[in-house]
Chains A and B, each alone.
Chain A
């Protein structure tokens, strides 16, 4: 039963990873970047995960922090299908990777545009610095992780469609470090994760305009909790996340300008079910609940994922 609980927590972890605004919710130009680890926490060697996320941009926050609802004449839906995997290379070390494919759809009064393309691929490595060797009522399992996002998707800086739906990536790479703590107490479990990342400088050519972008830094944190009623195969969980992206420096050859910082909160609910070596997860995430955001598009999202574990 303990193994079941760990697998369900893992499901929750994967859910958190998928709640990553950079891969699922934020517009390619505007979503704050957060990356949470896709960790193996159970007694298995490898896992696969396939997920589908459907995010509708329902609100937007201005650079003055005013949140307003989008009208029906400006519909934007982002669907992300991700294939990801994690592999335990030793008892404490693991590697992971994620390949997203993204479909952006926009409808306005007189225009309709859709585009499907590869998003930004990421790889990562994690080390369990606090393994659960003996039972402890308070000591969590702890992981440190590092990740690298590659700008494999086209960005809004390179977009050449009218409504920008061909932008499926951020346009620049980023490297990050993070910490994750997990703990379960009988039916209940708790998760905390936090990461800090720095974006790589990049140059872009748009129209007659060449400019250099320095994305600077960002961070995100996430707190989650769940319960497996009767220690069965179901788990119900909730998450609260915060993402911050510092204002980027843009140099168009004249003077360097700083963009407005971006931040947002997101609240998630998820339900997972474990059967054999597989797990199904259904989730809902809402970035409009808290109502505090800046310079960001805010989404309401549905997520469905299936994962398969390979025992050691």
Chain B
């Protein structure tokens, strides 16, 4: 009886360790021209009305499914002068149709009003929202979303 009970467990562990991660049904044809690219539909800038600031994002890489996207973000006042928000700029990805987000985006300030976002991973095709937030002490002061379809 003990052998009969332990045999399935041994097989179970063996199979768990030998799963190969491949399938005969996947398309193995890697082709950079087939990357799922998003459309940059933003006209003009996104506004934080309470702070009187505008955000202009520029894709350095992407938006693309499954590979790293990088975004240059310029925050400016109504006259177009770069300006830091009065709070911490933050952004995250959200898929509203699915109800989930993605890997945390890294954000680095490189000049006054200029930020570089990296590690932007859209894990699947579909509608995504990039949420830009201004935070102070963990509280969201203002938030805007930028919808993208990939």
Q: Which residues of A contact B (CB under 8 A)?
A: 27, 29-30, 48, 50, 52, 54-56, 58, 60, 62-63, 68-77, 79, 81, 83, 101, 103, 105-106, 108-111, 114, 116, 156-157, 159-164, 206-209, 213, 248, 250, 254, 257, 259-260, 295, 297, 300, 302, 306, 308, 310
Contacts and interface: CB of A to CB of B under 8 A. Distances in A.
* Shortest 8 CB-CB contacts between residues of A and residues of B: A108-B66, A105-B21, A56-B23, A72-B27, A259-B99, A71-B34, A72-B29, A56-B25
A23 to B, nearest CB: 14
Contact of A259 (B16, B24, B25, B98): B98
B85 to A, nearest CB: 15
Contacts, number: 157
Nearest to A260: B97
A109 B20 CA distance: 19
Interface of B: 4, 8-9, 11-12, 15-16, 19-32, 34-36, 65-68, 90, 92, 94, 96-105, 119, 121, 123-127, 131, 133, 135, 138, 140, 143
Contact of A75 (B16, B26, B99): B26
B37 to A, nearest CB: 11
Nearest to B91: A207
13 contacts: A29-B98, A50-B8, A58-B27, A62-B126, A72-B26, A72-B34, A74-B65, A110-B68, A111-B67, A157-B101, A164-B103, A259-B98, A259-B99
B97 A109 contact: no
A106 B28 contact: no
B124 A297 contact: yes
A296 to B, nearest CB: 10
Nearest to B93: A207
